[in-house]
Amino acid sequence: MNLFQAVVLGIVEGLTEFLPVSSTGHLTIAEKLLGLRPDDPAVTAFTAVIQVGAIIAVLVYFAKDLARIIGGWAVGLVRPSARGAEEFRFGWLIILGSLPIGIVGLAARPLIEGPLRSLWVVAASLVLWSAVMWWAEREPSQKKGEADLSVADVLIIGSVQCLALFPGVSRSGATISAGLLRGVDRVTATKLAFYLGIPALVGAGALELPKALGEGVGAVPTAVGTVVSFIVAYASVAWLLRFVSTNRITAFVPYRVVLGAAIMVALGAGWLTAT
């Protein structure tokens, strides 16, 4: 992989990681257009590692909130009198909500790195999950804030996040949609998608780092892609939070459907190959 390819993929990752349009799907498309093989283990590893740049952007953007939550959770572990604090409860909710994708992601790792890295899967997922996003926005009672989230809410939302292992679904699209269907307000659902993404993407990046450095991608392209991803993702996070405060996530549906249909046409015509 050369530096130009690394920069392009870093931009694509940063732009799409937190938008409900599927970063993995867009990276798969970009890799094909750049002449790379999406199912190549080294490329798959590179993709997982540069996601850490996007997660660092979330850590920086939400530094104060995360410090408050982590601090309150840590104090509650050693001081029983602090366990009634909202930060202690919310810290446990994030941990519980992150468990499903950790378990499923490890179990399905061979599938994720192989057969699912197909443009047919990307195209179908982009179109089919758009229907779920449209349905989720029809939920009339989107009134729950952070303080109203229950264990059942985060376990369901975290379980739905596992569907994002299908490239094209979108991790944020899955978690935000699940949140809306549980009656969570759009901004809270979006922030929860960010929080639940931290353990999932850091874990994936840590698992794939040795492969990214040792199987042909190299340290320099990986570092460049990660830095670019961080810069672009920081701006993307800020924009998305402003956007969802006044707009529905169905605004992304036409783009998803058109892109999915275009990929199907290109595959059917032989202009693109699936892997």
Give pLDDT tens digits along the chain (275 positions).
889 999 999 999 999 988 998 887 788 889 888 988 877 878 888 888 888 888 899 899 999 999 999 999 999 999 988 888 889 999 999 999 998 888 887 776 667 666 777 888 889 999 999 999 999 988 767 788 888 899 999 999 999 998 888 888 888 899 999 999 999 998 899 989 888 888 877 777 777 677 666 666 778 888 999 999 999 999 999 999 899 888 889 999 999 999 999 999 999 998 878 77
CA 258 – CA 225 distance, rounded (Å): 28
CA 245 – CA 127 distance, rounded (Å): 25
Task: Give the pLDDT confidence score for residue 146 in this predicted structure.
Answer: 86
Task: Give the pLDDT confidence score for residue 211 in this predicted structure.
Answer: 67
CA 77 – CA 246 distance, rounded (Å): 38
Question: Does any domain span residue 241?
Answer: yes
Task: Give the pLDDT confidence score for residue 234 in this predicted structure.
Answer: 95
Task: Give the pLDDT confidence score for residue 107 in this predicted structure.
Answer: 75
Question: Does any domain span residue 183?
Answer: yes
Question: Does any domain span residue 142?
Answer: yes
Task: Give the pLDDT confidence score for residue 76 in this predicted structure.
Answer: 92
Nearest partner of 174 among 23, 62, 51, 66, judged by Cα: 23
**In terms of residue numbers, what domain contains 214?**
3-269
Question: Does any domain span residue 274?
Answer: no
Nearest partner of 92 among 158, 145, 143, judged by Cα: 158
Question: Does any domain span residue 275?
Answer: no
Question: Does any domain span residue 171?
Answer: yes
Number of domains in the chain: 1
Question: Does any domain span residue 46?
Answer: yes
Question: Does any domain span residue 47?
Answer: yes
Stated pTM of the model: 0.86
Task: Give the pLDDT confidence score for residue 1 in this predicted structure.
Answer: 81
Task: Give the pLDDT confidence score for residue 224 in this predicted structure.
Answer: 93
